[in-house]
Amino acid sequence: MGDETNSQIKVVSGPAGYVLQDVPHLNDYIPDLPTYPNPLRSNPAYSVVKQYFVHVDDTVPQKIVVHKESPRGIHFRRAGPRQKVYFDADEVHACIVTCGGLCPGLNTVIRELVCSLYHMYGATKVLGIDGGYRGFYSRNSITLTPKVVNDIHKRGGTIIGTSRGGHDTSKIVDSIQDRGINQVYIIGGDGTLKGAAAIFEEVRRRGLKVAVVGIPKTIDNDIPVIDRSFGFDTAVEEAQRAINAAHVEAESVENGVGVVKLMGRYSGFIAMYATLASRDVDCCLIPESPFFLEGKGGLFEYVEKTLKENGHMVIVIAEGAGQELLSGSLQPGAEKDPSGNRQLQDVGLWISNRIKEHFAKRNKMVLTLKYIDPTYMIRAIPSNAADNVYCTLLAQSAVHGAMAGYTGYTSGLVNGRQTYIPFNRITERQNKVVITDRMWARLLSSTNQPSFLGPKEMAEAIKEEEPPTGLLDGENCQDAHSGKPPDEIEHSNTC
């Protein structure tokens, strides 16, 4: 076995091309830390479970579709409770912070972090950081107990508040140190987890016994490696209501067009899955797939054809789609949010107006268009049952890892198993819909919309998305559930 370590990732290699991308441990930079028997040993709920403690060598493969001769590939450490813990119950002083946009399930994760710490490990000092990263240094904290969080999973939003911007690593770590916090649970998206990685680096540089743990959150499902992000399922389900409404409006009038805008800044997963789930959508437009309006093979031609054939149509558009077509009208100074994310213009309104103008100008076809913008409605709701269970497992895994002394990781579902993933694997890129994969092809064949790609664009898309290593025949597909790109495909049965 060969080893290679940097501060954020420990690579252990083994026979037959086995690679473990391991997560840091407090032991890496603080020697001789005392350990304690895991209190779950005597917890009546768990003591009866056979093999409750995770074996030290348990790891989970990132890729489960393999050839007979292919290397075993990348693995992640399996999440779960360990025999030994590195924190005594009385010593634990945990805090929880939520950052970035809202997402169904945030309150469930908060609830389950608090309850896991209290009920599994007997830890009773848990603080909520008020209003995102800046709350570390500019606000009072909120005391969290099982009683306080008892029914918060039934509410949307986050009871401790969230924000964008305001990440000051040094001030945040000063606050962690001043308050005597030794477990930091950070719930957020790609930006938040970059912030978490910076906090981890600073904590390590200062030699503090502080576990820094991320729980990946994003309604856009744009976090790589993991099967899917919590809240995504709920958001797709809620989007059905808007699509249904658009369909009812459209089919009730002559030449009715319903336009629905859904979230998805850089990735169109919500639009793609909501479209596939609904079956009422005739056209789905996402950021990853460029489109055009005028001329042969363009959107206007397709609208006209669909209306002639069916008398009505529904268009779903992700908020980040086609931004390049309307970027000319962006107001200077309003381009970025406080976290530095590009501010998007209302592409739903724009496309609705363009369709109306086009058909009015041609005076050939009178159409009635209704534009529905449910963007915030799909993320401000409580999580559904499936997401609630998922949030619970993520939170419990996060706590088990911190108690076992791991740090600098996010908990995450990989091929249906809870794992610990090094921060830099999560922050190195964004997960996007791969338009040369089978999932997008399935969508195109379900809506019958044009691909809007000429031979030149198609060649470029294939070139851009070419996987780094040789794939199995027909493996250039996405996982039906996660929509992950080809280098991370694991579920052959979905292709």
Q: Which is nearer to ligand F6P, 218 or 415 (CB)?
A: 218
User: Considering only CA atoms, which of 290, 253, 300 is closest in space to residue 456?
Assistant: 290
Q: Among 45-53, 58-66, 184-192, 354-362, which window interacts with Mg ion (CB under 5 A)?
A: 184-192
Cα distances from 336 to residues 102, 283, 349, 433, in angstroms, run 18, 29, 20, 24
User: Taking the complex as a whole, how short is the minimal distance between the CB of residue 189 and ligand F6P, in angstroms?
Assistant: 6
User: Taking the complex as a whole, how short is the minimal distance between the CB of residue 348 and ligand ATP, in angstroms?
Assistant: 19
Q: Which is nearer to ligand F6P, 249 or 319 (CB)?
A: 319
Question: Residue 104 and residue 92: Cα distance in Å, rounded?
Answer: 28
Return the one option of ligand ATP, Mg ion, ligand F6P, none that residue 234 interacts with (CB less than 5 to 8 A, by type): none
Q: Which is nearer to ligand F6P, 74 or 219 (CB)?
A: 219
Return the one option of ligand F6P, Mg ion, ligand ATP, none that residue 484 interacts with (CB less than 5 to 8 A, by type): none
Question: Residue 217 and residue 193: Cα distance in Å, rounded?
Answer: 9
Q: Which of 161, 165, 290, 450 binds ligand ATP (CB under 6 A)?
A: 165
Question: Residue 289 and residue 133: Cα distance in Å, rounded?
Answer: 34
Between CA 438 and CA 449, with CA 444 as vertex, the angle to 5 degrees is 165
> Is residue 101 involved in binding ligand F6P (CB under 6 A)?
yes
At position 271, the amino acid (one-letter code) is: A
> Is residue 238 involved in binding ligand F6P (CB under 6 A)?
no
**What part of residues 333-352 is at the interface with ligand ATP (CB under 6 A)?**
339, 341
CB 220, CB 230: distance < 8 Å:
no
Helix 299-310, helix 347-362: angle, nearest 10? 70
> Which residue in 220, 227, 233, 387 is the catalytic one?
220
Residues that bind Mg ion (rule: CB under 5 A) add up to a total of 3
> Is residue 231 involved in binding ligand ATP (CB under 6 A)?
no
**Considering all CA atoms of the chain, what is the largest pairwise distance in Å, rounded to the nearest integer?**
81
User: Considering only CA atoms, which of 52, 158, 64 is closest in space to residue 494?
Assistant: 64
User: Considering only CA atoms, which of 124, 132, 121 is closest in space to residue 36?
Assistant: 121
User: Taking the complex as a whole, how short is the minimal distance between the CB of residue 317 and ligand F6P, in angstroms?
Assistant: 13
Q: Which two tokens stand for residue 152?
A: 């918060």
Q: Which strands, in side-by-side order, build the sheet including 283-285?
A: 283-285, 312-318, 256-262, 368-372
Return the one option of ligand F6P, Mg ion, ligand ATP, none that residue 263 interacts with (CB less than 5 to 8 A, by type): ligand F6P
Residues that bind ligand ATP (rule: CB under 6 A) add up to a total of 20
Q: Which of 167, 247, 261, 379 binds ligand ATP (CB under 6 A)?
A: 167
> Is residue 401 involved in binding Mg ion (CB under 5 A)?
no
Q: What sign for the dihedral angle of Cα 424, 430, 435, 441?
A: positive
Count CA atoms within 13 Å of residue 21 on its CB side. Answer: 21
**What part of residues 323-362 is at the interface with ligand F6P (CB under 6 A)?**
337
**What part of residues 360-419 is at the interface with ligand F6P (CB under 6 A)?**
379
Q: Which two tokens stand for residue 460?
A: 């470029």
User: Taking the complex as a whole, how short is the minimal distance between the CB of residue 269 and ligand ATP, in angstroms?
Assistant: 12
Return the one option of ligand ATP, ligand F6P, Mg ion, none that residue 195 interacts with (CB less than 5 to 8 A, by type): ligand ATP
Q: Give the SS3 label for residue 52.
A: coil
Q: Which is nearer to Mg ion, 106 or 114 (CB)?
A: 106
**What part of residues 82-141 is at the interface with ligand ATP (CB under 6 A)?**
99-101, 132-133
> Is residue 319 involved in binding ligand F6P (CB under 6 A)?
yes
Q: Which is nearer to ligand ATP, 337 or 475 (CB)?
A: 337
Return the one option of Mg ion, ligand F6P, ligand ATP, none that residue 203 interacts with (CB less than 5 to 8 A, by type): none
> Is residue 195 involved in binding ligand ATP (CB under 6 A)?
yes
Question: Residue 65 and residue 44: Cα distance in Å, rounded?
Answer: 39
Q: Which of 99, 263, 414, 489 binds ligand F6P (CB under 6 A)?
A: 263
> Is residue 191 involved in binding Mg ion (CB under 5 A)?
yes
User: Considering only CA atoms, which of 385, 381, 393 is closest in space to residue 115?
Assistant: 393
Q: Which is nearer to ligand F6P, 80 or 157 (CB)?
A: 157
Question: Residue 183 and residue 362: Cα distance in Å, rounded?
Answer: 64
Cα distances from 66 to residues 63, 437, 488, in angstroms, run 7, 18, 11
DSSP 8-19: S-EEEEEGGGEE
Question: Residue 294 and residue 114: Cα distance in Å, rounded?
Answer: 55
Return the one option of ligand ATP, Mg ion, ligand F6P, none that residue 216 interacts with (CB less than 5 to 8 A, by type): none
In the annotation, is 174 catalytic?
A: no
Return the one option of ligand ATP, ligand F6P, Mg ion, none that residue 319 interacts with (CB less than 5 to 8 A, by type): ligand F6P
DSSP bridge pairs for 70: none
Residues belonging to the active site: 220
**Site residues (vs ligand ATP, CB under 6 A):** 99-101, 132-133, 164-167, 188-192, 194-195, 198, 218, 339, 341
